[in-house]
Amino acid sequence: MEPDSNDTLLALIRSRIAIIQVDTHEETRILAFLKEETAQNNAPLFIWTITDGLRKYPDQTPIPQTIEFQDALKNINTEQSVGLFVMLDIKPHLESPVAQRLIKEIAENYAAKPRTLLFFGRGVQLPDDISRLSARFVPGLPDHDRIHDIYVEEAYRWLTESRKKHGRLETPHEAENMFLLNLSGLAEEDVRRLASNAIRDDGRISEEDVKNVLKFKHQALGKDGLIEFYPDTSNFGDVGGLDGLKAWLEVRRAGFVSTDDALDADQPKGVLLLGVQGSGKSLAARAVAGTWHVPLMRLDFGALYNKYIGESERNVRDALSQAEAMAPCVLWIDEIEKGLASDGNGSADGGVSRRLLGTVLTWMAEHTARVFLVATANDVSQLPPELMRKGRIDEIFFLDLPSKQTREDIFRIHLKKRALEPDKFDLAELANLSFGFSGAEIEQVVISGIYAARALGKPLHTGAFAQEISKTKPLSVVMSEKVTALRKWAEGRTVSASTGARD
């Protein structure tokens, strides 16, 4: 918990707000704080549960006939004149009109009888006429220092219990660093449980423990997650060319995955990958996550649109919040122009795309979570100019058609991926013949050549691939006008993802 979270809760209690919604699943830890605070100040504290009814602390005196939620509220309204009243698991009881009436009476009579109701529960929604009398408290999450302290506490406890008090965990530094980094965004109780389980499992922190943290965070998103989690990512060994982009990302890697608080203020925000279709934009997005060893989350605007007014905007806000809960991570928005198309006044869809754009732009400029945005686009004419401003993204990279050397590398990668020996093929010849081909089109040449050789029952050779190249009209030919226009626009406006000269 952040250092000021306890003070924030106390400030709400002292501000004479009658109803406080404590939005958390960490009730044990926060209850312990409230018990300690009220005991030190000799303040009355009552806790209600459906199993025990209303009890007064610290002596835990049960109050008769308060098992039912409505009966407990009646007791508070008529018998109790002052105190904090913690109500647990109230969500199913709020639909009762009688309960709602009693809650309002308690709140509206606060001046005469200062009774504070604390409703605990994750995502509890109060009726509108009660919500206006309330305040919401969301406990802060532990920062890097607190996460490290919890980890050290659990390690020391394990060492003590296993009689290794003066020993230490045998853990690779990189695995330990990524484990601690990926614990960010979790509640303190979850951090402690995951750290304890990882340490006690085998007395060390491994890559498997990092994967378990990511799995836990993904499951915490729920089945209705608005963003898609990619458990398997690529690395730049699977990507031909793009040496300029690779170098740029390598320089900024430490600023993103480091736990040094001094780097937090200047951590990289994200990039826009603009390029010809099939040039490897999606593969590059996956490779960023794989190279940085962080989870990859994909946001699909098509799945977020809703016919009801305001629902699409809320879905986008919720999706971005889910991405922040997975931090550190890479958030991939594929073909972003289709979700945030610039249509002038936004009349084409009733202004929804413009409102979504405003939501995304605000988040891009102001979010502090370790979420690195990788947006890909094919049609620059549809991109809103506001999206490309520095400060919201770090750089715009253009992924052009691959050069001759890059085409050789791409052939080599796809042959190896299919357990074929690249040295047995004339890659230079294939690279010459495939002038104007994108990376995706080269992959299809390899796949088609393999199928053709199998169908004929002949051994695979360079000629099989050459024949497939001759049958294919690449996109650079089929849509030459659009490809030429895109390349012309990108020149001087973007940074080339590849440093080599074009052929």
Query: Which of 143, 94, 99, 83 has its CA nearest to residue 121?
Result: 94
Shared domain check, 264 and 373:
yes
Pairwise CA distance, residues 218 & 211, whole Å: 10
Same domain, 395 and 409: no
Please list the ranges in the chain whose pLDDT falls under 50: 1-3, 223, 307, 344-347
Look up residue 434 and give its two tokens: 């495939």
Give the residue numbers spanning the domain of 162.
144-220
Q: Is the pTM value of this prediction over 0.75?
A: no
∠ Cα 388 390 396 (to 5°): 55
Look at residue 169 and tell me if it is in a domain. Answer: yes
Q: What angle do CA 219, 189, 152 make, to 5 degrees?
A: 115
* Host H or E run for residue 339: helix 336-339
Residues 375 and 254 in one domain: yes
The pLDDT, as a whole number, for residue 204 is: 85
Asked if residue 482 belongs to a domain, the reply is: no
The domain spanning residue 466 has which CATH number? 1.10.8.60
Residue 58's domain is classified under what CATH number?
A: 3.40.50.300
Is 25 exposed, middle or buried, given 0-12, 13-18 or 19+ CB atoms closer than 10 A?
A: middle
Same domain, 198 and 255: no
> Is beta strand 270-275 parallel, antiparallel or unpaired with respect to 395-399?
parallel
**373: exposed, middle or buried (Cβ count in 10 Å: 0-12, 13-18, 19+):** buried
Non-local (6+) Cβ contacts of 235 within 8 A are 287, 290, 291
In Å, how far are 41, 42, 118, 231 from 37, measured between CA atoms? 6, 8, 15, 43
Whether residue 422 lies inside any domain: the answer is yes
From 112, 137, 162, the end of a domain falls on 137
Structure tokens at 256: 């993103």
Decide if 477 is inside a domain: no
Cα gap 206→71, rounded to integer Å: 52
Q: Where among 137, 169, 187 does a domain terminate?
A: 137
Instruction: Say whether both 163 and 295 belong to one domain.
Output: no
Q: Is residue 493 part of a domain?
A: no
Q: How many CB atoms lie within 10 A of CB 389?
A: 12
Domain count, the chain: 4
3-state secondary structure of 125: coil
Residue 153 in any domain: the answer is yes
Same domain, 83 and 67: yes
* Pair 199, 290 in one domain: no
Q: Say whether both 386 and 245 belong to one domain.
A: yes
Q: What span, in angstroms and rounded, lies between the C-alpha atoms of 235 and 293?
A: 9
Residues 182, 240, single domain; the answer is no
Spatial CA neighbour of 108 closest among 75, 133, 74: 133
pLDDT at 3: 43
Same domain, 368 and 294: yes
What is the rounded distance in angstroms from the CA atom of residue 335 to the CA atom of residue 341?
10
CB-based contact 337:378 (threshold 8 Å): yes
Domain boundary (137, 162, 197) is at: 137
Q: Indicate whether 423 and 452 sit together in one domain.
A: yes
How far apart are alpha carbons 125 and 19 in whole angstroms? 13
Supply the pLDDT for residue 500.
Answer: 65
**Rg, Å, the chain Cα set:** 29
Residues 383 and 409 in one domain: no
Residue 459 placed within a domain: yes
The rounded distance, in Å, linking the Cα atoms of 230 and 295 is 7
Query: What does the DSSP assignment read for 411-455?
Result: HHHHHHHTT--GGGS-HHHHHHHTTT--HHHHHHHHHHHHHHHHH
Residue 339, in any domain of the structure = yes
